[in-house]
Each structure stands twice: as C-alpha cells, then as structure tokens.
Structure 1
Amino acid sequence: MLENDTGSIAPGAALAERIADVLAVLRLDNIPMEAREIAVNDLIDMAGLCVATRDADYIRVLIEASDDAGKCTAIGHARGFDAATAALINGTATHGEDFDDTLEGAPIRVGAMVLPAVLAAAQRFERSGADTLKGIVAGLEMVCRFNTIVPGAIHKAGFHPVGIIGALGATAGVGVTLGLDRKQLTDAFGIAGSFASGIGEFLTEGAWTKRLHPGWAAQSGYRAALLGRAGFFGPRTVFDGPRNVFKVFSQSAPADRHAVIAGLGEKWLMQAIAFKPYACGTMIHPFIDCMLRLRETGIDADSIVSIESETSEGLVDRLWEPLAAKYRPPSGYAAKFSMPFCMAVAFLEGDAGLEQFSDAKAADSRVLELAGKIRYVIDSANEYPKNYTGHIRASLRDGTEIEFRQPHFRGGVREPLTRDQLIGKFRGNIAHGRGSIEYGQALLDFCLNIAKHKDLSVGLAGIGLCGESA
C-alpha cells in the first residue's frame, strides 16, 4: 500500500513488500563480481578497524557494560558475546575513528552497520560464507538505496542517518543471510523502523554517541530480522505510510521512493562505496592531498604566511566554523572534523592516519600554529556534494605563492583504492591495535576467502583472539 498525495493509503503492494520480493530470491550467482569484490574490500577494511580500536576507551567501556556471554566474535577480543552484543561492539569499533567506508556524494557510512550484523547472524546460526557474502551485498546495497529517498534531510532534521538508514540496511543484510521469506522480511523492515535512532547532539561536545550509532543500528537490524523471522507483526507501510520512517526522521515528505526499487537486483548503487586513505572527515581528504603536495615542494611551515582554501558553503558549518574552535580542537576526535587542523597535521607529519589524531597531537603547538594560518573563501561553483574537491593557495614569506588543486576524492569512484592499498591500510590498522603479523594474516585470509567457508561459526573460530585482549 502506497501513500497518495492526500496522505491516505492506496491499494497495492507496499514498498517494503516490493523490496522483500527481490531480496527473498536473491542469489549470489546473480550478483556481479565487482559488487562482491567491493563487499570483500569492505570486510577487510572493517576487520582491520576493529583491531585498531580494540583498546580505545569507548570500546573498553562498551565491553565492560556488556554482560551477555556467547559464542559470537568481537574482532580483536578473546571473550565471546551473544550475537547482538558482538554486532554492537564491532559496529562501534568500525566507525569509532572515522576511518571506515563512506558513500561518495552522500553523508552516510555503509559497512559499519551491515557487516557486523551479518557476521554475528551468520556465526550464531552457522550460515555458509556464500550466504554471508550474499547478505553483506544485500545490506550494503539497501543502505545506498534507502539513502536516495530523502538525501541530506535526515541530517538537517537533527538525526544521524547512520542510525536511521543503517538499521534498515542491517535488517536487509541479516534477513538475506538467514533466508527470510517475503512476509518475514516485510515484518522485519517494519520492526526496524521503530528501532531506528540516533540524534546529532554529539556535535556539541564531541560525545561518543556518534561512534555508537552504527553498532546500535547493527544490533537493531539483527534483532529486527530475528523478530520478523519468528512472526512478529511489523507495519508493512514502514516506508510509505503516513507516519513512515523517512517522513518522521526527515520532517518532510519523501521526494521519490521509486528510486529505491528501480533496478534492484540488477543495478548496484553500492559500487559508489568509497574507502578512506585518511582517518578524518571525508570532505577534508582532497585538501589533505593538496597539503601533502605542498609538503613535497620542500618548504617548511615557518616560511608559510597564510593559506587560502576555496571551499563549498556546504562544508563550512561542519568543518570550518566556528573557526576559533576549529583552530584549537578540544580533543583528537574533534580534530578529525577540523579542516585547518587536518590540513596542518598532514603537512607537518606527511599523513593523517590514526597516529595524527591523539589528544596529545590536538594540543601540539606546531600543528596549532600552522592551522591558525589557514583561511577559507566560498567557491560558489564548487560541485559539492556531487564531487569532493580540494584547493590551497599558500603565500610565502618571500612573496611567492604556490597553488594546488585536487579534483576529486582519492579513494572514491574517480580514483578508487586498490585491493593492495586496502590491504596496506589493513596491516597498518592491525599494527596500531598491537595485533601480531600472524594474527593479521589469519584475519586477512578469512576476509579474502569469506565465500569459501562452509560454516561461519567455524570460520570465525579464533578470529576474535588478538593476543593481549581478554
């Protein structure tokens, strides 16, 4: 049943049912190799990030607050958890340092909500690697598709899209992995609409809740799928009724729901998933590339008088302003969303990885001094959000100027990271989390060969153990 222009319900299949019609009969053989390879890339990226963040304060607190033991894996930890808690921990760990995937041209993550939910479900119910990979692809695809309904509006309404859309995508992934039928999937989507949550108030003080939202969405998707599987009645009209999830969380009428179903199972929007080379806000990356090219000229920070950056107006409120606060971020985490800090630390250290965003680094006088020389001007012709670009014009003490432009986000569809580059990032994340080379290789082999496992409960056995963590 679809909502018509008057807000009443018109007869016919609801959108949740139409989506379920496709997902319930999805076969791995019908998924193109490119989509499957992106899913494997996302798994590699996620696994490395879980290890990298395993000793972080927010993960230690999350584990301390979790008292549900079980056989499911929180990657990088020896202790077993029930499936929902494993999904919660892995989702939070994946997104915790803002180094996980993104959907290019859209302010949302994809894998951090889907992958932990699917892995937990597959391990708990002893599904095959092929079922797991199929579920991962389905979940990733549905996050991308749900994001087309009210693009940007969920953010503007004060909610975090990761927590809203992520719960729906995780439901799709788990539902496909466990083989839910049309009715079960439809109920699961209806239930997930009520589980969806996540407010944007973390922006005020840099609170940990942003990190939590993907994990909460992952465990919500897992629970919604199990409830739907068991026959719990959820609203069929969760996507198109008068109080549908998109209208409620965007405070506006959805513009176009048809794009969600158009080409589903044939056209793969997930091919726009991008992977980050730097551990900070995605839109900052092209500016970092420009600063690294400036570094390559051999000039030092003392010779720089000022740096002017042309930027989109759409980036200002999140990454540039209030400028005084962005010049002196209160923590390493807050520094990840400061354009001048990220640009300065990349120039001085030649990278913007996990090591560059500690609390100590956020107080580094050298970085703060250079950051204070960076200004922005609005470029009315900037292509954001369709394209992420970077620009700097450095004025030097000798009167010369040096200018660089980066025409796109490196790691996105115009210049994707290669499998080898992603493996290099993975190995760096394992080392950051103090994982051994042997452990890292075993984890990588698991990810690369995911489709070959006959039983994920066996395939994941021992993968949680990472040396020192209990």
Structure 2
Amino acid sequence: MNSNTDYYRDIAEHFMHLSFEELTDVTLQQVERSLINYAGASAFTAYEGCCDAMLDLIKNLNPAGSGKAGIWADSGSYSPLTAAFANAVRLSSLEHNDSTRGSAHPGIYVWSAILATYEQYGASIPDLVRAVVFGYEASTRMALLAIEKVRELGLHPPGFVGALAVTSAAGLLRGLDMDQLLNAFGIAASLLPVCPFVSFVEGSDSKDLYGGWGAYLGLFAVEAASRGLTGPHTVLGGMKSLDSIFSGREGKDIPLGQPYFIDQLNIKEYAACFAVNPAVKTALALRQAHSIDYRDIESVLVDVYPYAYDLNEGVGRSYNTTSVRLSLYYTVAYALIEGALPPRAFLEDTIRDPKYRELQDRISTRRHDAYGEGPAGVRGCILEIRLKDGTALCGETDAAQSKCMMTDELMREKFDQLTAGALSPDLAAKLYALASDLREEDRDLAELTQILREIRPVKKIGSCP
C-alpha cells in the first residue's frame, strides 16, 4: 500500500477476495459484540423516544411504503436510506457507541446501513459478517489518515468519515464490483460532511445528524454507483483531491488482517464523550475506596488533560441532554452521588435534578497541561476531594486505565441496562442471543430487526435525551 490513490483499492481488493472461513474467532466475536452493543443502544433510544422531532422530519420527507427496511419503534417500511438515516440519528444521540483507533465510531454507521440493506435485499450471514469487518476496517483506516487534520480543524471525526464505512460495508453486501465500489467511494468522499464539533458543544440537534447523514450519504453513493453513476477514483490522492486532509501515515504500516481493527474494538462504558472517562473513573474509584457520602464533600478539583478541559469549558455550566455528555461538572457530580453513570443519567428529568446541580457548584476544573495535547498527550485526570471534616483525598487515572475492554459479563450487564423497560426479560434475552451468534450460515436476522421495530416508546419528548 503506497499512495492514497491505491490505498483504498488495496483494502477493497482484500475484502472482495476474503472468505468467511478466513476470519478468526476473535474477529467473529468482536462482530457479535458490536451488534450486541448496537442492538441494546438502539432499544434504549427507541424506547426513550430519542430525537422524535428529527425522526418526524425524516419520515415526513421520506414517507413509509418505499422499501422493506425498518425504523426502530415504527411499524412502517422504508427505503434503506431512510431507515438507516433515522436509526443512526437516534443512536448518535446516545453516545454509547463503540470505537476504534482514529476516533472512529463505526458501529452507528455500519450496522444502521447493514441491517437496512439486509432487510431490503437479503444476504447470507457470512457475507454480512465480511461486509461488517470491511466497514470497520475502512472507517478506521480512513480516520487514521485524516485524524490530524480533522483535529486541527475542530471537526467531529466519526461524522467526517462515517459515510466511507457505509459505502464499503453496504457496497460489498450489495455485490458491487471493484469499479462500482470505487465509484461509490468516490461519490461519498466527494460529499463528506464537514461536521464541526461545535454542534456537540452547543448541544444542537444538528449534532445527531452527524450519525444519520453518514449512513444516508454512504447508502446513496452505493445506490448511485449500482446504477452506473461515477465518482473520482483518485479522490484521496489525485490533483486537487482530498490528499491534504487524508495526509496521515498511521495505519499504512499495518498489514490487513494482522489483526483487523475490529479485533481491537473498544466499547464505551458510559453514554458520554470519551473525554470525560478519566475523571469519571477517578471519581468512582475514590467513592468506592473511601465510602464517600456526597453530602460530606466540601469541594472537588478536577485536574484534567487539555482536550477534556477545553470541551468542558466550551459547554460551561449550562447544558442540555446532548452537551451534558461533555460536562465534567455533571458527570463527576453524578458519579460521586450515585456510584455509577448509566444511560439514564442523561435523560432530561435527571440532568435537571437539583441534587446534581448542588454538588456541581462545589466542583472546579483545572487544565493539566503537563499531560500534553494531541496524539502524544496522555488522557488523564487527577481528582482532589476535600471533605467537610478537613480530610483530603486524591486519585489519578490515565488513558490506559480509563478505557475498558469489556468482558462478556460487563457486555451483558450493559445490554440489560439498555434494554430494561424497552423489552420484557424474555425478549431482551432473545435479542441478545440473536446478536450473539453470527457463525451459522442459516442464521436469519429478521427476528432481530422485528424485535427492534416492535418496541413501543415510553413517551414522546421532542429532543434527544
């Protein structure tokens, strides 16, 4: 793999010739875990009625009856583009997604598109699994090429490259040939959304479109290429191309399949931006080690790495159900009071609870410049708690400790948290079982998608919790 022009072609050729039998047990397990995470998070967001106003707009512009694909918690049938768009928008609001290197969050894009494509056109499970691995690989490798420029420009990395994951995964599942796949990739890359991070900081509704638009654009590009429309094959490295953005070298030295990037999948513990993880981890550890009662706390100092500090300062002390997922004040306060940070911590009624606001008023933050910035920096936090009796407590967490490679037990615990209320225990167990076994050729995912379609929302809230 030398030039950017050849890079994507080489990746695509690898997966077009890869057989299901060549995938390792580790890869297959991570594909299953990614679907478990997607299904659980989708059940939660469908039940809580996340982004209903946005979904109403999407469905009004693209009415049911134009395809076979489903929007979760909706009885209609839609085109794959509309269904994937809506499901990805909803899931984007939760911030409980998976991640790979380069700050990619492939699951939102890949699974929304793959399940919609599967419902519309059908496919074998081996082909579906190969397509998922391709989508995760393409997303991560493209993110690694672009991450330095994306960070420099203040963009949202997953939203920027998400369509390229969809084009790869759905294109392979649809059976596009190499020329069509390159055209689809070129079409999507030509139209990549800018996705400024400010939408997240301000908590605007447009932030959740970063998930949905990537899914829509990727499937649009695949459909266009299947009909003979073309895109630039040298979009990553030709004259006046995107080579100045996809200018990194990271990832090019890693041979395909040794291992695949999905093999190193990280799944978020908390429904928040990863930037808050070190602070939350430290707060939870101190609370458990010292049996802290939050009513005994005099003050808290969150001494945190620059990126997390800057995001928190951007949000400030006034937030909504989107921007609060960047807030060190809220997430640390909640963790110290409750000893956990579950998805429901970010619902509208919860974040307005005076109990959490009162402790936040005793929390201050400091920019720990010694951690450094950028890829070479440490994602760390030092937390200092002073109790009313004068006791001083201190703890520190760095990036290696703040990431959680989830065990099967933790995965099941997270899944049960997400599906509680949305599904009966029996249906939740069935959904988990369906997502957990993708190794049989005759496996049918129609039952999985039907369970998600039949969820009934607890309420309509109009905005994204």
Q: TM-score scaled to structure 1, two decimals?
A: 0.87
Question: Which residue, 391, 394, 397 being the options, matches 2:382?
Answer: 391
Three-state SS of the structure 1 residue aligned to 2:303 is strand
The AA in structure 1 aligned to 2:302 is S
Q: Does 1:339 align with 2:328?
A: yes
Tell me the percent identity: 23
The separation in 2 between residues aligned to 1:466 and 1:431, in whole angstroms, is 15
Letter in 2 for 1:159: L
Indicate how the Cα distance of structure 1 residues 123 and 465 shifts in structure 2: closer, same or farther if over 3 A, else same.
Answer: closer
Question: Aligned in 2, Cα 1:403/1:180: closer, same or farther, shift over 3 Å?
Answer: same
Residue 293 (structure 2) pairs with residue 300 (structure 1): yes
Task: Show the counterpart of 1:364.
Answer: 353
1:192 aligns with 2:185: no
The one-letter code of the counterpart of 1:348 is I
Residue in 1 aligned with 2:393? 402
Q: 1:65 to 1:356 in 2, by over 3 A?
A: same
Counterparts in 2 of 1:416 and 1:225: CA distance versus 1, 3 Å? same
TM superposition shift of 1:177? 1.9
Range moving further from structure 2, 402-411 or 277-286: 402-411
Alignment partner of 2:173 out of 161, 173, 177: 177
Alignment pair present for 1:107 and 2:103? yes
Q: Distance in 1 between matches of 2:298 and 2:431?
A: 47
8 Å Cα contact 1:47-1:75 kept in structure 2? no
Q: Aligned partners of 2:149 and 2:278: how far apart in 1?
A: 25
Q: Distance in 2 between matches of 1:259 and 1:401?
A: 44
Native 8 Å contact 1:49 1:93 kept in 2:
no
| 1:209-228 aligned within 5 A | 209-228=206-225
2: CA distance, partners of 1:158 / 1:65: 27
| 1:107-186 map, 5 Å | 107-186=103-182
In the alignment, is residue 462 of structure 1 matched against residue 450 of structure 2? yes
Mapped to 1, the partners of 2:297 and 2:370 lie a distance apart of 27
The residue type equivalent to 1:214 in the other structure is: G
Equivalent residue for 1:269? Answer: 261
| Stretches of structure 1 lacking an aligned partner (at least 5 in a row) | 5-12
Partner of 2:463: none
Q: C-alpha displacement at 1:359, in angstroms?
A: 2.5
8 Å Cα contact 1:128-1:451 kept in structure 2: no
Cα distance in 1 for partners of 2:3, 2:130 equals 31
Distance change >3 Å, CA 454–CA 222, structure 1 → 2: farther
Distance apart, 1:465 and its partner CA: 3.4
Relative to structure 1, is the Cα distance of residues 316 and 21 closer, same or farther in structure 2, using a 3 angstrom cutoff? same
Alignment counterpart, residue 339 of structure 2, candidates 342, 350, 364: 350
- Uncovered stretches (5+) of structure 2, i.e. residues with no partner: 459-465
CA separation of 1:16 and 1:416: change in aligned 2, threshold 3 A: closer
Say which of 308, 311, 331 aligns to 2:304: 311
Return closer, same or farther for 1:50/1:202 CA change in 2, 3 Å cut-off: same
Matched to 2:408, the amino acid is: R
CA distance in 1, matches of 2:149, 2:264: 20
The worse-fitting range, judged by mean Cα deviation, of 125-134 and 202-211 is: 202-211
CA distance in 2, matches of 1:132, 1:438: 26
Q: CA deviation at 1:455?
A: 7.0
Q: CA deviation at 1:261?
A: 7.5
Letter in 1 for 2:226: R
Structure 2 match to 1:8: none
Q: CA deviation at 1:388?
A: 3.3
Amino acid at match of 1:267: P
Q: Distance in 2 between matches of 1:451 and 1:218?
A: 26
Q: State the Cα distance separating 1:293 from its structure 2 match.
A: 2.4
Moved more, 37-46 or 148-157: 148-157
Match of 1:416 among 374, 398, 405: 405
Q: Point out the more displaced range, 29-38 or 136-145.
A: 29-38
CA shift, 1:467, in A, is: 4.4
Aligned residue number for residue 462 of structure 2: none
Partner of 1:9: none
1:40 equivalent to 2:32? Answer: yes
| Matched letter for residue 339 of structure 2 | G
Which residue identity lines up with residue 397 of structure 2 in the other structure?
Q
Query: In the comparison of the two structures, how many residue pairs are matched?
Result: 449
Deviation at 1:283, TM superposition (A): 2.1
- Alpha-carbon offset, residue 37 of structure 1: 1.3
Letter in 1 for 2:176: L
Structure 1 counterpart of 2:108, one-letter code: A
State the distance in 2 between where 1:461 and 1:157 align.
38
Whose helix fraction is larger, Structure 1's or Structure 2's?
2
Q: CA deviation at 1:39?
A: 1.6
- Tell me how far apart the structure 1 counterparts of residues 399 and 253 of structure 2 sit (CA, whole Å): 29
Alignment partner, residue 10 of structure 2: 18
- Which SS does the other structure have where 2:146 is aligned? coil
Could you tell which deviates more after superposition, 227-236 or 41-50? Answer: 227-236
Contact 2:73 2:454 in 1 (8 A): yes
Match in the other structure for 2:226: 229
Q: Is the 8 A contact 1:16 1:238 kept in 2?
A: no
Q: Provide the residue aligned with 1:89 in structure 2.
A: 86
